[in-house]
Structures are given as C-alpha cells and as structure tokens.
C-alpha cells in the first residue's frame, strides 16, 4: 500500500508503479548477475584498501578488550566501578545491550521467514552474522563478572569431584541455558543458511585454496531437488524454533531483574518490554551496518530503499511498544501506591542521575518516534544512519537507567551509594565495539554477505509459468 506521504519521483526505476513502493531487487537482474555481484565481493583478488584500513582501525580498538581483560584477570573485578549497592554496573548493562542488538538478526531470519516477508532475504545473512558477533560480545560480560572467568565452566551441569551442581531456581542459571542455546542455534542457523552459497563460491572460486576451503564448508552441496526440499523443511523448522527462542532469551534476561524484589525491577511488563527494546536496538544496528555496506559494496540494487523503509517501520512499531513500556512503568509506580516504587521513579527522573533518564527519553522516544512517521525520512539513508546511532545510545541508556537507578538507592537509605564507571569499564565496552566490527569486517570479506540462493527465488525468472508453458509446447510436439 502506498502511504499518504508524497511519492518521490514516480519515474524512479526503483519504484514499482503498481504499488508506489520501492522494489526489493532492482529490475533487470538475472540469476547470474546477482550471483556475480555477491560472490564477487568474496572472490575478488583485490582486497579494497578501505577494508584493510577499517580492519586495522577495528582491530586496534578491539585491543582494548585484550588490555582490559588482561588487567581484570590480574587484578580482579575491583578495577571496575561495581561496588555495593551498585554491584551490577557496566557488566550487566553491556550484556543486555549487546544481546538485545543480536535479537533483530533472529527476528529477521526467523520471524520474517515464517511471515513470508521475502524482502528480508537480502538482509538476513548479515543480520544473522550481527547476532552471532553481538552474542560473542555479550557473553563476555557475565563471564568476566563472575570474577574468576577461568572457572566459568562451573556454571554448567557436569559431574565433578566437588560434588556440587548448579542451582536451577536462580534466573542467573536460566541465563546460562538461554544464552548458550541462543548462541548455538544462531550459529547453526547461520551456517546452514550459508551451505548452498558456499557451494556457489566453491564452484566459482579460481584459487585452489578458496576452492578447498569453500568446498569443505559446502560439505558437497550440489543443489539436488530432494536435498533442497529437506533443506527448506529444516530452515522452516529452525525458524519455528528460533522464534520462541529469541523471545525466551530476552524474557529470561528480563527475569534477572523481574524476579528480584527491587523497586523498578519487580514488574510483569519486563519480558515484553525487554523483547521490544531488543528488537528496536537490533534493527537500529542492522541499519548502522546495512547503510555503509550497501554504499561501499554498491549493493543498492539488492539492499534497496524498500529495506530501509521497512526496517524503519519495524523500528517505529517496536519503539512505540518501548514507549508504552516507559509510560506503564511511570503509571504503575504511581498506581501501585508503593512508597518504594514511587521514590524509585522520582529518583530515576529527578535524582542525581536523572539526566540519564532524560537522555533516554530524548534518544529513544522523542527523536525517533516523531520523525519516523515521515516517509521522506524513512527512505533517507543518511538520516536513518544517524538515527540508528541515536537509538542505540538510547537503548544503552535504558539499561543504564534500569540497572543503576534501582540499585544505588534501594530500600535502606543508610546503604545508599552511587555508581561511577572506571576507565577499565569504558575500555572494555569500547573494545567490544572494535571486536564486533572486526568480526563483521572479516565476515563481509570472506563469507557470502547476502544469501544468493534466496535472492534467486525472488527474481521474476524463478516463477514457473512462461518457461513452463514454452517447455510444455516442446514436449507436446515431441510426443
């Protein structure tokens, strides 16, 4: 459906005249041209200099992780700003922020697949990659936060000489199961999706090394119809499994808060509101990645303004749910008639760290939810790129506000304190940005960033109709 706003330049070849919407794939593409376009990025002999520059920069920033973790292992978690009462601090804020970012990848690859939203095909691969790299960054924080990360395997249920087992009545133990399952299933789904494309790369590669590596990764895929049917069935099943999984993971993470009897945490709205926030920040991150990628690799034909428009619409919807969540929190803190809840909300808004709440309202609600209604801005790549940063800053502050304000002024005024992150907190957090972009750049260079086999199904040539009729005539003639 065309929206109310003015449709820009109707003679734009990217606009489908029947719907007034931007096309999902630019017209004129063939099976071969989409394959060449995507495979060419990976199989080129000339690594772009700017890619090398980007990798150098990212890897340098990622060194922050190495330094911060080394120092942490030598000195202990005391180098962080966590104290009593604010014992959670950056570690949990960053954990929730990163894992939330990952959720959009699963949403795109699983939920939109089930809803038959074929436009997702061009963006699902790198959204899934984003998920996995975000989970890598996220999982690091709780592991380091336990204090002795080298004993992290104690979290797993395994028979041991101490005869000690995990305690399943704690949401923190649920987290271990939720996040490890999420990471495993995301990797499986991502890799399985790439098998046919690795086959294409194997067949198109010139260098023996590339042939060998992609050949191994493709496990001998040859595009047999019976294989495809089982493969499609497995994809749908994995999508069906990932959908409740992604909802359960952020629900479980919200249980870390909601199960605790803290003012501002102990609410039933947390699971849906956390999931919506996760999808909101995740779509922002997909935009942060997609907009430079389509520009840099000239993929405007495959990642079109339609994709940006649709993603902006999802952000508008999830952002509104998040806004409703904020509203409900404020309402409930009044309606509950609980002195503690009331104080928590007052402290959150006007206490010493009240500025963080207003930054959150500005970046998460005021800027995006006023501007995203405009179609002109939704198809403006530069604006969306800017907005994606705004929203991710906002979502980080949301977690900051939730974690810090409830903890540092709890029920007992004599135990009130404050929270100040140290340089090691910042170094580790900024370092994870470097780690994330390093992993992403390596992925963009060495793996098929856009699923070629799924793009082929979206081309008009893939429809059996004309070709079939032609062939029928041939066969009839022969008989």
Contacts of 151 (CB under 8 A, 6+ apart): none
Report helix, strand or coil for 2. Answer: coil
Nearest approach in angstroms of CB 173 to other proteins is 7
Nearest approach in angstroms of CB 112 to other proteins is 18
Distance between CA atoms of residues 256 and 72, nearest Å? 24
CA 280, chain centre distance (Å) = 9
Nearest approach in angstroms of CB 318 to other proteins is 23
Distance between CA atoms of residues 136 and 183, nearest Å? 8
Residue labelled with tokens 């790299």 = 133
Token pair for 229: 């049917």
Sign of CA dihedral 163, 139, 262, 246: negative
**Structure letter (DSSP) for residue 7:** P
Choice between 24 and 404, CB closer to other proteins: 24
Nearest approach in angstroms of CB 332 to other proteins is 23
Nearest approach in angstroms of CB 447 to other proteins is 16
Of 98, 400, 96, 394, give the one whose Cα is nearest residue 252: 96
Token pair for 189: 């789904």
22 strand-pairing partners:
15
Choice between 270 and 424, CB closer to other proteins: 270
Choice between 18 and 222, CB closer to other proteins: 222
Characterize 425-447 residue by residue with b for buried, 16 or more Cβ atoms within 10 angstroms of its Cβ, and e for exposed: bebbbebbbbbbbbbbbbbbbeb
Nearest approach in angstroms of CB 256 to other proteins is 11
Distance between CA atoms of residues 424 and 146, nearest Å? 16
Radius of gyration of the chain (CA): 24
Nearest approach in angstroms of CB 368 to other proteins is 32
* Cα angle: 239, vertex 244, 221; to 5 degrees: 20
Choice between 70 and 184, CB closer to other proteins: 184
Nearest approach in angstroms of CB 89 to other proteins is 25
For 22, phi then psi, to 5°, come to -70, 145
Choice between 89 and 102, CB closer to other proteins: 102
* Cα angle: 47, vertex 48, 54; to 5 degrees: 110
Nearest approach in angstroms of CB 233 to other proteins is 4
């Amino acid at each position: 459906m065309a929206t109310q706003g003015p449709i820009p330049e109707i003679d734009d070849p990217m606009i489908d005249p029947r719907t007034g919407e931007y096309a999902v794939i630019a017209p004129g593409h063939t099976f071969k041209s989409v394959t060449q376009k995507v495979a060419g990025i990976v199989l080129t002999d000339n690594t772009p200099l700017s890619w090398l520059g980007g990798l150098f920069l990212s890897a340098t920033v990622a060194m922050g992780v190495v330094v911060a973790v080394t120092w942490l292992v030598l000195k202990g978690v005391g180098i962080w700003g966590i104290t009593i009462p604010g014992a959670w601090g950056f570690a949990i804020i960053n954990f929730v922020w990163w894992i939330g970012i990952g959720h959009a990848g699963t949403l795109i690859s699983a939920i939109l697949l089930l809803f038959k939203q074929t436009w997702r095909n061009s963006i699902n691969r790198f959204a899934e990659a984003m998920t996995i790299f975000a989970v890598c960054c996220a999982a690091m924080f709780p592991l380091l936060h336990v204090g002795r990360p080298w004993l992290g395997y104690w979290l797993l249920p395994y028979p041991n000489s101490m005869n000690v087992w995990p305690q399943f009545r704690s949401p923190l133990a649920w987290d271990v199961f939720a996040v490890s399952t999420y990471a495993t299933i995301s990797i499986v789904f991502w890799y399985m999706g790439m098998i046919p494309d690795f086959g294409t790369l194997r067949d198109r590669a010139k260098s023996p090394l590339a042939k060998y590596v992609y050949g191994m990764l493709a496990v001998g895929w040859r595009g047999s119809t019976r294989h495809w049917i089982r493969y499609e069935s497995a994809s749908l099943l994995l999508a069906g499994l990932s959908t409740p999984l992604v909802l359960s993971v952020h629900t479980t993470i919200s249980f870390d808060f909601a199960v605790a009897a803290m003012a501002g945490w102990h609410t039933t709205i947390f699971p849906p509101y956390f999931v919506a926030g996760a999808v909101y920040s995740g779509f922002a991150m997909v935009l942060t990645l997609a907009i430079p990628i389509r520009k840099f690799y000239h993929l405007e034909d495959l990642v079109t303004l339609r994709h940006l428009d649709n993603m902006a619409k999802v952000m508008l919807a999830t952002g509104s749910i998040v806004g409703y969540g904020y509203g409900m929190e404020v309402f409930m803190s009044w309606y509950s008639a609980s002195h503690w809840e009331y104080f928590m909300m007052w402290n959150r808004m006007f206490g010493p760290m009240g500025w963080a709440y207003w930054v959150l309202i500005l970046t998460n609600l005021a800027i995006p939810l006023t501007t995203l209604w405009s179609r002109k801005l939704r198809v403006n790549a530069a604006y969306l790129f800017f907005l994606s940063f705004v929203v991710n800053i906002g979502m980080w502050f949301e977690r900051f506000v939730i974690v810090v304000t409830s903890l540092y002024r709890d029920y007992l005024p004599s135990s009130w304190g404050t929270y100040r992150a140290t340089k090691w907190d910042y170094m580790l957090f900024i370092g994870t940005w470097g780690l994330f972009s390093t992993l992403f750049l390596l992925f963009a260079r060495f793996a098929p960033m856009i699923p070629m086999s799924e793009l082929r199904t979206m081309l008009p040539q893939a429809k059996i109709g004309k070709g079939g009729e032609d062939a029928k005539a041939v066969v009839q003639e022969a008989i």
